[in-house]
A = this chain, B = another copy of it.
Amino acid sequence: MKRIYNFSAGPSTLPVEVLEKAQKEMLDYNNSGMSVMEMSHRSSFYDDIHKEAKKDLIELMGLSDDYELLFLQGGGSTQFAMIPMNLLDKEDVASYLITGSWADKAYKEAKKFAKPEILASSKEDTYTYIPEIKEEEMDVNSKFLYLCVNNTIYGTRIAPEKIDKLTKPLVADISSNILSEKYDYNKFDLVFAGAQKNLGPAGVTIVALKKGLIKEAREDIPTMLSYKTHADKDSLYNTPPCYSIYITGLVAKWIKKMGGVEGIEAINKEKAKLLYDFIDNSKIFKNNIKVEDRSLMNVVFVTGNDELDAKFVKGAKEKGLENLKGHRTVGGMRASIYNAMPIEGVKALIDYMKDFERENR
């Protein structure tokens, strides 16, 4: 069996022991005589999987009893519509911090259903930093401040200490750094994350929101896009993406085994420090992100020469270090080092970068 180090930004690498467990249980889950894929979503076997995954995620996120956690479909892109449809009336204002193209997409989608405003944007600097968050500049009637906490494409994140200082109701996309370091998720009205970056396979989106915000939806909302529909039925209104939830549950158990978010955070910080330190001291690799805004999950770097970048990515692939090409809109390289990327993968990458530097100075 071949295994590579997969630096993909998402879908992305999963813990090997999770895959091994799924492999073992593929034809017979827990002596049920069935694959999890074959189980009725109304069966007691599946019900246990569903409840356990939910319980573990709530525990890992440290959510209080004020929160409901949902398993939905449609990815973050569907949340861009569900958030204004469920939390805003047509004339309501909400404030968006534009830290990348995903935040921008969320803002544009919200314009279909309400009156969002842009609080600040770093677009003119290709999103290389997080704009200062001046809550006092929000429209006085603004219902919430929307944030994309980690920006996969640009390699930035809003640090926990910046969020701790905020006082307004917050709604956030945490797809690419959920459970990677300690955030106080109880500070948010709503957070959501597509599983396919740091939690599991594509096809399930985690939404955690304050129970008080779950109410009868606006009449123009499809039943399936109302949070209440799903909250009332514990995410079993219709058939959920059972297998994706099962794998997400296995990943949650793995995080707990690694010492929870605290344990994972320590490893993630070590991984990121190794890589950023190497880049900052390198003669050919550069990272242009403002230091305090650097993502722990997505480390972007360039040589400044497109041909050399391409050579780097090609050579890396030959060494089993894959998916290091930067997003097509920004070029260069990107190493996504999510929770499941072992430190050995980061060290192997740095070793290759050293060799490459020596040969290409």
Contacts and interface: CB of A to CB of B under 8 A. Distances in A.
Contacts of A40: 8-12, 323
Copies of this protein chain in the complex: 2
A224 B75 CA distance: 9
B239 A241 contact: no
A13 B33 contact: no
A224 B74 contact: yes
A207 interface: no
B14 A23 contact: no
A16 interface: yes
Interface stretch (A120-128, A162-170, A181-189, A195-203): A195-203
For chain A, what secondary structure do more than half of its interface residues adopt (helix, strand, loop), or is it mixed?
Answer: loop
Nearest to A247: B37
A217 to B, nearest CB: 10
Nearest to A35: B19
Interface stretch (A24-32, A277-285, A289-297): A24-32
A136 interface: no
A22 B322 CA distance: 22
Given A6-B38, A220-B112, A222-B85, A203 B243 contact: yes
A142 interface: no
